[in-house]
Structure 1
Amino acid sequence: MSSSPTPGLTRFNAVGDGAARAALHEICAGGAWVDAVLGGRPYPTAEALYAASDAATAALTAGGLAEAMAAHPPIGRPAPGDPVSAREQRGMAQAPPGLRAEMRALNLAYQEKFGHVFLICATGLGAAHMLDAIRRRVGNTPEREREIVREELGRINRIRLARLLEDPAGPPVPEQEGARP
């Protein structure tokens, strides 16, 4: 692991709070998570940022977890015009119609039972893997499912943070904040 900040981390640490808050909100819609991660800046390493994200995810209340999950579209139905959800759910895009239909039906059953979308870190997963996961998880207790959802949200947040730090555009530098409407 690098002991010094990467250019992306340096940029993230340097931007104003407004730009950093907006970038973090794109990663996780949970306000408490955003506040906790934002409050830890500057981060000396990417691993320190990831650890802060993990701690903030673990500390989410039931309401904070629900707030974070509400921004995630159902598996198999990425948010229209959202390249992030489309990229993350790529494994479902080319699934056969029967598999997609079963996923839709299980998504509805899951949401009816738990009151929220089925959340899985779908990056790199194939459609069959996601279908198997929802089949297994729909039988969980609400308590067990909350634990799993929290773990999955943590994985998603880490992947999205890594992409933020790797993005050459990244959040705007301080001089650019507010320069454009």
Structure 2
Amino acid sequence: MQGIIGPGNVAPDIIGATGTPDRGTIMHTLDQLNAMPPDAFAATLDGVFEYAPWVAEAAARRRPFASVTALHEALMATVHDAPADRCLGFLRSHPALSAIALTDLTLTAASRTEQAGLAMSGLDDQIAQFEPACSSYETRFGFPFIVCVRRQTPRFVLRGLQRRLINTPDQERAAALVEIGHITRLRLVDRVHGPGMPPTSGHLSAHVLDTVRGKPAEGIRIEVWREGVLIQQAVTNQDGRTDVPLWAGAPLRIGRYELRFDVQDYCSGWPDGNDAPSSNPISSNPISLNPISSDPPGTHPTGPDPPDIDPPWHDVIPIRFGVAEPEGRYHVPLLLGGFSFTTYRGS
């Protein structure tokens, strides 16, 4: 099943989960938090940790904080240092992850926005596996399945659920706290700004080089697809890059991606070889995607420039890859040859 982006070139499944604060959220500086009375400090951070005001109340006694990262570490240390029964109660207070849970009137605004932004309908035929797996999980461990949905696609949320079902109770309590760390870090940066911000955003960019003429390729339309949903599109400029990154300012969800480079019109204008060099002026060290050829000398794909043919050899070039680091940098260059292309993960 495939979807198309809506107005503003943003996929429906990322609305409300892009790292932008809710409209009612007031941003505070770290200096302001450090200077607040303890009760005001706790009230400002209310909701960062689900139904657990005691976390911020305890962290207030550790001020001042030199960075937002240090603030988050202190909040998480409070949870880790809590007695086992209090920590278990904290885990149990988290809402279940399901379409049914979205109708729960006690669901916090942050949880509602995060779960709605996941778009579980993207699981298609696998959606029927999700509710029973969540029920089995809660029966086995005594608390709901907890995952930072802003960092994963629906398919990888389900995959993680299935993998974590085999954990021991101790392993799973640790795994749940790691996910709470991710959840609360994103919620915190939605509310607090200051020095030492923790990393919460991924980066995806691309670059197209015309190795036939030895220059950047301008005017190439690039589409970004994530598991069947078009989430972004852009056109390369005179430098062969897009004016802004293909993705920035939010986690790059764990999942499968595809960049589609529409090069057909660009290749239709290639010269017949009279005004372009016969050798490749751009060198690199990526793994070549050229097939092994048995063509005789003088006709190998890396030889003379391609003739101006219609239709051209290339049309849309898809490059598929997996994202495992939501806060990582992914750069995907495309080195476009006459009858070949090369790609790799750059920086």
Q: TM-score range by the shorter chain?
A: 0.7 to 0.9
Q: TM-score, normalised by structure 2?
A: 0.42
Q: Mean Cα displacement is larger for which, 29-38 or 115-124?
A: 29-38
Match of residue 171 from structure 1 = none
Tell me which of 91, 96, 105 is aligned to 2:118: 91
SS in structure 1 of the partner of residue 64 of structure 2: coil
SS in structure 2 of the partner of residue 84 of structure 1: helix
User: Are the counterparts in 1 of residues 34 and 63 from structure 2 also a CA contact under 8 Å?
Assistant: yes
Match of residue 179 from structure 1 = none
User: Are the counterparts in 2 of residues 13 and 42 from structure 1 also a CA contact under 8 Å?
Assistant: yes
After TM superposition, list the pairs within 5 Å mapping 1:157-168 onto structure 2. Answer: 157-166=184-193
Q: What CA distance in whole angstroms lies between the structure 2 residues aligned with 1:108 and 1:153? A: 20
SS in structure 2 of the partner of residue 27 of structure 1: coil
Amino acid at match of 2:179: E
After TM superposition, list the pairs within 5 Å mapping 1:3-82 onto structure 2. Answer: 8-28=29-49, 29-30=51-52, 32-76=54-98, 77-78=101-102, 79-80=104-105, 82=108
Q: What CA distance in whole angstroms lies between the structure 2 residues aligned with 1:7 and 1:35? A: 17
Amino acid at match of 2:159: D
Structure richer in helix, relative to its length:
1
SS in structure 2 of the partner of residue 95 of structure 1: helix
CA displacement at 1:129 relative to structure 2:
0.7
Q: What CA distance in whole angstroms lies between the structure 1 residues aligned with 2:180 and 2:163? A: 18
Amino acid at match of 1:9: L
CA displacement at 1:97 relative to structure 2:
5.2
> For structure 2, which runs of at least 5 residues remain unmatched after alignment?
1-26, 194-347
> For structure 1, which runs of at least 5 residues remain unmatched after alignment?
1-5, 167-181
Match of residue 127 from structure 1 = 154
User: Are the counterparts in 1 of residues 62 and 74 from structure 2 also a CA contact under 8 Å?
Assistant: yes
Cα root mean square deviation, aligned: 2.4
Match of residue 283 from structure 2 = none
User: Are the counterparts in 2 of residues 92 and 100 from structure 1 also a CA contact under 8 Å?
Assistant: no
Amino acid at match of 1:165: V
Match of residue 177 from structure 1 = none
Percent identical residues: 24
User: Are the counterparts in 2 of residues 32 and 64 from structure 1 also a CA contact under 8 Å?
Assistant: no
Structure richer in strand, relative to its length:
2
Q: What CA distance in whole angstroms lies between the structure 1 residues aligned with 2:46 and 2:82? A: 15
Tell me which of 172, 180, 193 is aligned to 1:145: 172
Tell me which of 131, 153, 158 is aligned to 1:104: 131
CA displacement at 1:106 relative to structure 2:
0.7
Cα deviations across residues 89-136 of structure 1 (Å, max 9, x unaligned)?
A: 222443345433321111111011111101112113111011001101
SS in structure 2 of the partner of residue 75 of structure 1: coil
Cα deviations across residues 59-83 of structure 1 (Å, max 9, x unaligned)?
A: 2332222232233211123454643
Cα deviations across residues 20-40 of structure 1 (Å, max 9, x unaligned)?
A: 222334111335523331212
Question: Are 1:155 and 2:176 counterparts?
Answer: no
CA displacement at 1:144 relative to structure 2:
1.0
